[in-house]
Amino acid sequence: MIVFDSISNTRTINSTIGLLDYLSFNLSNARMLSSDYVITHDTAYLTMYETCRQNILSQAKQLPQSIESILGKKRNLESLIYEINETIRRSDYYISLKKRNIFESIDLINKVIEDKKSRSRVNSHIDRLISLEKHELLKQESGNSNKLHTFEYGFYVLTFGIIALLFFTLFFILYNFKKVKKAQTLITESEERFEKFFNLSPVATSISEISSTKILYVNNAFEQLFAVKREDAIGKTADELGISTKAEKEALTKEVTASKGKNHLELIRKSITGEQKNIYGSIDIIDVNGQQCLLSCMIDITEQKRHEKELQKANELFSVLFNENPIGVIISRLTDGKIFDCNKAYTDLLGYPKNELVGKKIEDLNILVKPGVRAIIAEQIKQQKRVNNFDLEVRTKNGEVISGLLSGQLITINGEAYILVILKDNTLYKKAEKDMLSALAKERELSQMKSDFVALASHEFRTPLSTIQSSADLLTMYLDTHHQDERLRHVKRIQLSVQKLTLILQEFLTVEKIEAGNAAPSLRPLNIKELITGTCKDMQLNTKHGQIINYKHVGNEHIISDPEFLQHILTNLISNAIKYSPINTTVSILSRSTSSVLTIVVKDKGLGIPKEDQKNLFTRFYRASNTLSIQGTGLGLYIAKRYTEQLGGNITLVSELNKGAQFIVSLPLSNSIILKKQPDLGIRLL
């Protein structure tokens, strides 16, 4: 095709060159004929001019179709057409002048000059176009020659290829003839192997017609499954053999035909002996010698179904025991503690929904209060396969910590080690145990208090009673009037001893009242300055030689409080300051009241209190280690602190050994004081 296209292009170029030559000839004739007409006025020249004129215009229209529009050719072609049109226009112009008889000699001269110029320009354009076309013709001829050589080479190659193809085809036919013979042998062997495979396959297989449902062929496994011989089964239908009912057979055939086969079928069929069989298999439509048949493949799953039922019962029993168990049960992986499953009691115990537990690690959930507990349990189970009654604390979702009692067993799920854990809420038991231990401790404390009280009472009462006894005995010796001073001295000793006994009993009764919860404040208006001044005067009687009680008040004197509570607080603090201070010292008392707080400071220059004793100083019967040689009950500061707390305040201590002590009592002042009722500790002083 390429060669023929090149030849066609060459012909087109030659035709174009001829057209240009003919056009040049017609233009020359047109000029001559128009000149002859204007000179002779002979109409024959005019007729020939019109014919030549039409030929020129027709040829000018053909030029753009024959010449390719490359840049050089396009410009020359446009100039040529312009000159052709100008030549025709001038000739038409002079002819029209001649027709109107206004043509003059000067016009003829002009025409001759213009025709000469036009001829020169037209010939120049035509020569240029012919030159371009000839150049193109040379290129085409050169290309045609090359293409012709290429064509000849291709023809030779094609001829050789056809000969080679014929040779290869002949060789292929001969080669395949041998392969066909070999294939026929293989097919025969394959059919024999297939027949063996078909008969020896453990899958019960049958082939039956779709139209009549008659059995065409069965294998050995089919015979064993349904207890029927092959020759008895062939030619009969399944319902005729008693394997299925007619309705079952027709419904199954219709379903298989509609769906072009059926897989994963589970059917119940009977053997010839009447034994019910659970069958699993598939049925496909196949073509046997142009006839559509059903290929049925079946296996006996009767035993499997029986095991499935037993497993289902076991799973249901496990589900009931697991999910309905009132004790929390959880299964977690031994290696990392990832939760596999848990029951409702476990989720209720911890307050988590089940979906927030399953799949999560126990340690990530922060359930175990003490870190490392799970590792200890896992290690023990690894070694002993179980763990029993392991005490631990677990944290619920809302942050509550409860006591648990854990027992675990190592189990295997899908070949992986898991821990089956039973977690019992042991909080109530632990609380009862704690309460019992607390009650036992209180009972021991009460017993110790009774012992301490008996020992203290024996010690504290013995001295005053001995003093009273000795003074009473001495009084009998001073009956005369001149021994009046001696009698008064012994009477005073008796009075002081009685006063000490009264104070001791007062302290015991006060403690008993506080412990019983019967010490409730009774608030009323009072003058604090007068109350403290009166107390100081009463306590002045107990001072040692040279001791002074110095009192100062700052602020408003009128407050609302309980005067009896204040009296007890002041009496115990001032009494201790006098008792533990040497002679010739001052006990300083300062009271300051503001709109909201009453502050009382009792300061002495006595023994001071060791730092290690200060934390227990306000405990019942507790005495500082450096005061054991001084008479006292160890109840004064306890009473002062409890009464202070009853009034909603607090008492603090500032002391250094051998530098005295300073007690600061702070009490709120308002119309409504928060009253703190102390719990009944179950202690009574007998």
Tell me what the mean pLDDT of segment 77-95 comes to.
Answer: 73
Q: What band does 83 get if pLDDT is binned at 50, 70 and 90? A: confident
Q: Which of 452, 551, 574, 602 is nearest to 503 (CA)?
A: 574
pLDDT at 681: 34
First to last CA, the chain: 139
Tell me what the mean pLDDT of segment 627-631 comes to.
Answer: 72
Question: What single DSSP character describes residue 543?
Answer: -
Cα separation, 515 vs 56, whole angstroms:
147
Domain 325-425 - what CATH class? Answer: alpha beta
Q: What is the DSSP string of 429-457?
A: HHHHHHHHHHHHHHHHHHHHHHHHHHHHH
pLDDT at 448: 63
- Judged against a pLDDT cut of 80, whether residue 119 lies above it is answered with no
Task: Among 11-15, 177-181, 236-240, 628-632, name the most confident range.
Answer: 236-240
- Rounded to a whole number of angstroms, the CA Rg of the chain reads 68
- Judged against a pLDDT cut of 60, whether residue 517 lies above it is answered with yes
- Count Cα neighbours of 244 within 13 Å in the Cβ-side half-sphere: 17
416-425: strand order across its sheet: 339-342, 328-333, 416-425, 401-413, 386-395
| Higher local confidence (pLDDT), 86 or 334 | 334
Q: Which of 54, 47, 46, 50 is nearest to 23 (CA)?
A: 54
Residue type, 356: E
Structure tokens belonging to residue 276: 């019910």
Alpha helices in 41-104 (DSSP H): 43-66, 71-99
CATH fold of the domain at 427-686:
Heat Shock Protein 90 (3.30.565)
Cα separation, 353 vs 161, whole angstroms:
82
Residue with structure tokens 């409860």? Answer: 402
Whether the CA torsion 218, 224, 228, 232 is positive or negative: it is positive
Domains 325-425 and 427-686 share a fold: no
Cα separation, 59 vs 483, whole angstroms:
186
Q: Which of 193, 228, 184, 201 is nearest to 295 (CA)?
A: 201
- Judged against a pLDDT cut of 60, whether residue 618 lies above it is answered with yes
Q: Which CATH code for domain 2-159?
A: 1.20.120.1730
pLDDT at 666: 95
| Higher local confidence (pLDDT), 634 or 539 | 539
Residue with structure tokens 């199954």? Answer: 252
Helix (H, G, I), strand (E, B), or coil: what is residue 426? coil
pLDDT at 166: 78
Cα separation, 477 vs 468, whole angstroms:
15
pLDDT at 551: 95
Name the pairing type of β-strands 291-300 and 204-209: antiparallel
Structure tokens belonging to residue 538: 């009463």
Residue type, 199: N
The whole-chain average pLDDT of the chain stands at 78
Q: What band does 686 get if pLDDT is binned at 50, 70 and 90? A: very low
Quick: pLDDT tens for 121-164. Answer: 766 767 666 676 666 666 666 666 666 667 667 777 778 778 88
Contact indicator for 350, 343 with CB cutoff of 8 Å: no
Whether the CA torsion 523, 525, 529, 535 is positive or negative: it is negative
Contact indicator for 609, 634 with CB cutoff of 8 Å: no
The listed CATH number (3.30.70.1290, 3.30.160.20, 3.30.450.20, 3.60.15.10) that belongs to domain 201-305: 3.30.450.20
pLDDT at 109: 61
Per-domain residue ranges of the chain: 2-159, 201-305, 325-425, 427-686
Least confident of 163-177, 367-381, 543-557, 594-608: 163-177
Q: What is the DSSP string of 582-637?
A: -TT-EEEEEEEE-SSEEEEEEE--SS---HHHHTTTTSTT---TT-TTS---S-HH
Cα separation, 404 vs 650, whole angstroms:
40
Q: What band does 478 get if pLDDT is binned at 50, 70 and 90? A: low
Cα separation, 529 vs 532, whole angstroms:
5
Q: Which of 461, 445, 483, 673 is nearest to 566 (CA)?
A: 673
Cα separation, 123 vs 114, whole angstroms:
14
Structure tokens belonging to residue 166: 């014929």
Q: Which of 634, 495, 622, 491 is nearest to 572 (CA)?
A: 634
Entry field: residues in the chain: 686
Whether the CA torsion 99, 103, 107, 108 is positive or negative: it is positive
Residue with structure tokens 């220059």? Answer: 605
Q: Supply angle C-alpha 124, 130, 136, rounded to 5.
A: 140
| Beta bridge mates, 288 | 291
- Judged against a pLDDT cut of 60, whether residue 10 lies above it is answered with no
Tell me what the mean pLDDT of segment 528-548 comes to.
Answer: 90
Cα separation, 414 vs 514, whole angstroms:
68
Cα separation, 378 vs 12, whole angstroms:
102
Helix (H, G, I), strand (E, B), or coil: what is residue 550? strand
Name the pairing type of β-strands 328-333 and 276-288: unpaired
Burial of residue 257 (number of CB atoms within 10 Å: 0-12, 13-18, 19+): middle
pLDDT at 674: 40
Alpha helices in 201-301 (DSSP H): 220-226, 230-233, 238-241, 246-259
Kind and range of the H or E element at 183? Answer: helix 105-200
* Count of CB atoms situated within 10 Å of the CB of 234: 15
Cα separation, 95 vs 459, whole angstroms:
174
Least confident of 260-269, 284-293, 560-569, 621-630: 621-630
Helix (H, G, I), strand (E, B), or coil: what is residue 299? strand
